[in-house]
Chains A and B, each alone.
Chain A
Amino acid sequence: MPLAVRFRAAVSLLGRFPALAGVDLDVAGGEVVLVQGPNGAGKTTLLRAAAGLVAVASGEAEVLGHDLTRDRRAVRRRVGLLGHATFLYDDLSVADNVRFAVRAAGRNRSIDDALAKLELDGRVRDVAVARLSAGQRRRVAIAALVARQPDLWLLDEPHAGLDADGRDLLDGLVAGAAADGSAVLIASHELERAGAIAHRTVTMAGGQIHAASGPVAPLAPEAREPAGVS
């Protein structure tokens, strides 16, 4: 599998503070990598840098073959970021939000499948997002991500706010995306939960990756299935 993410001594500055202080990281297509570390370690910045939202000031940073130090915008249509915020429009309906995300990515596919996967295809489909609970909003954000079918999934605390069913659904979707060849980078403090769907774990501290564990190459498809997902 070609590398989806390749960072070498990547430095990103938030103001004058080096939130990434020389990161080395490879993520292959079809691989699920868990990034763990204490608050302020740089996990969120790493994901935002991979999405092209935060500039890489020095070092090398390639995502899906695009050099982020030259052009951060080119990669954005091919990545999906689930952040602390949901990036949703309160006054639009669930379906309108997902449809906008799909069309903005230059795709013209049906959103029905993504809504059904997140169990948003009933009455809730036409409800304004402002009227949903935090967990339902999270599901809408995941549905938008699924509908876009990105080649790189960037998930920041993806299980936060989800109920047990939602967590199982998400784990199944991540496993499915990896099986289809997408790379997945997860930043999470829920090590047991996220670790169960990851092929390997890297540990960040002080804006650098200090330790890695688990296999470097993607696991065989049958080994990727998380517990409880058929």
Chain B
Amino acid sequence: MFRDAALVAGKDLRIEARSRVATNQVAPFAVLVLVLFAFALDPDRGVLTTAAAGLFWVAVLFSSLLAVQRSFAVESADSARDGLRLSGLDPAGIFLGKASAVAAQLLALEVVLGIGIVTFYDTRLHGAALLLVTCLVATIGLAAAGTVYGILAAGLRVRETLLPLLVLPAVAPVLLAATRAWQVALGQSADDGWRWVQLLGVFAVVYVAFGVLAFGPLLEES
């Protein structure tokens, strides 16, 4: 399973490295979201600073939709999804590989967005450990959930419009918990940030486990 996961993740990341969709389209889109929020809330810079954590994760969430759509779009061209089924790869390995590739792209994107909120929103980063662990665990959850819903929508003609409707409500807990944890890490809340990280951890474990078990049947039916 892990050998297959590494093979699929390597393939997806190689495709992204060659096509540069993530760097030329997804990352600029995410930065644009931050800039547009800045335009909308500019008169009161204090609001931007206060809302930075939430705006960061909203931008990550929107970008994750693009990354997941892209991940399954490459499998739709020329019936590559049939090729993937025919390959004999372990479906659980395919799930882990595709989710890992999406997660790797999102983590790189979060670095760019982190620089963005410091630059545009005048935010100071405090609790480095909490920030980093939150990013890691939330990203695993987002990538796993996105990959599950991505394969669910992959075989449908309306997949581009259906995916956000499936993913956004499902990952609302990630948005909530990651935002709360970041508010603590940015010094904007005295809450226990690690409690929110635990919630993110539960979410990630549930979706990774569900994906490992369900991806095979979903792939067959897609």
Contacts and interface: CB of A to CB of B under 8 A. Distances in A.
Interface residues of A, number: 28
A109 interface: no
A100 B86 contact: no
B83 interface: yes
Nearest to A101: B87
B78 A103 contact: no
Contact of B11 (A52, A92, A128): A92
A91 B78 contact: no
Majority DSSP secondary structure for residues of A touching B: loop
Interface string A70-92: 00110011110101011111111
B78 A104 contact: no
Contacts, number: 68
Nearest to A154: B86
Most central of B7, B77, B84, B216 by chain A CB within 10 Å: B77
B19 interface: yes
Given A92-B11, A104-B7, A87 B88 contact: no
B interface majority secondary structure:
helix
B93 to A, nearest CB: 10
Given A92-B11, A96-B14, A86 B78 contact: yes
A81 B86 contact: yes
Contact of A91 (B4, B18, B85, B87): B18
B120 to A, nearest CB: 32
19 contacts: A52-B86, A53-B85, A76-B87, A77-B88, A78-B88, A79-B86, A83-B82, A85-B79, A87-B78, A87-B83, A87-B86, A88-B83, A89-B74, A89-B77, A93-B18, A96-B14, A100-B11, A104-B87, A104-B88
Interface of A: 51-53, 72-73, 76-79, 81, 83, 85-93, 96, 100-101, 103-106, 128
